[in-house]
């Protein structure tokens, strides 16, 4: 088991990162007021919390199921009933700032496939997604442990529509850079 669900190539990872950056950038430029409201209220967004928590649980269960375990292999069939039970318990008893915590978990999970597909490339450009993956991992750890940090991080970036658009332009440029890397370098 080297990657997520399939053998992710470096070009696919860079395309994903580029598309993510462009989508976020366009949203921040085109509809800054709505984007600001969504990002500021994200921590208490119940729909986002449930979706992200489900994705985190399913991805984690997939990883555990496909991890070679000789001594604990007999527990793998228990994952099928454990995932829905865990989901219910999480959304019932950990619902405070769950979206932010689940986003932190997703950032932790997303760093691994990016690092795996970039580690053997023979170009210095590989360090750009590698650094981004490590930033995601550190941010993910921080958000899982201290979900209130989300507001501290996004508040300065979203003080006004003009600042939101400026951050959107930076995200758009970063996304375009990753798309260029996917097509030309990786």
| % of the chain at pLDDT higher than 90 | 58
Asked if the model's pLDDT at residue 100 lies above 70, the reply is yes
Contact call for residues 56 and 63 (beta carbons, < 8 A): no
Q: 39-72 pLDDT, tens per residue? A: 999 988 999 999 999 999 999 988 888 888 888 7
| Interatomic CA distance for residues 110 and 3, integer angstroms | 10
Q: What is the pLDDT of residues 2-43, one digit of tens each?
A: 444 557 788 888 898 899 999 999 999 999 999 999 999 998
| Distance from C-alpha of 121 to C-alpha of 93, rounded to nearest angstrom | 44
Query: What is the average pLDDT value for the chain, to the nearest integer?
Result: 89
Mean pLDDT, residues 149-170: 92
Put simply, whether the predicted model's pTM sits higher than 0.95 gets the answer no
Q: CB–CB of 164/153 below 8 Å?
A: no
């Amino acid at each position: 088991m080297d990657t997520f669900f399939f053998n992710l190539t470096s070009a696919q990872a860079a395309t994903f990162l580029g598309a993510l950056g462009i989508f976020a950038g366009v949203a921040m430029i085109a509809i800054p007021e709505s984007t600001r409201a969504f990002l500021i209220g994200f921590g208490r967004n119940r729909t986002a919390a449930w979706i992200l928590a489900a994705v985190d649980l399913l991805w984690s269960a997939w990883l555990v199921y496909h991890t070679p375990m000789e001594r604990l292999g007999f527990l793998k069939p228990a994952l099928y009933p454990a995932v829905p039970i865990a989901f219910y318990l999480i959304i019932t008893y950990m619902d405070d700032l769950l979206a932010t915590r689940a986003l932190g978990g997703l950032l932790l999970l997303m760093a691994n496939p990016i690092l795996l597909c970039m580690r053997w490339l023979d170009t210095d450009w590989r360090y750009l997604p590698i650094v981004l993956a490590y930033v995601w991992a550190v941010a993910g750890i921080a958000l899982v442990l201290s979900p209130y940090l989300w507001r501290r991080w996004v508040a300065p970036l979203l003080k006004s529509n003009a600042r939101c658009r400026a951050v959107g332009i930076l995200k758009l440029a970063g996304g375009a850079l990753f798309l260029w890397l996917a097509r030309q370098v990786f």
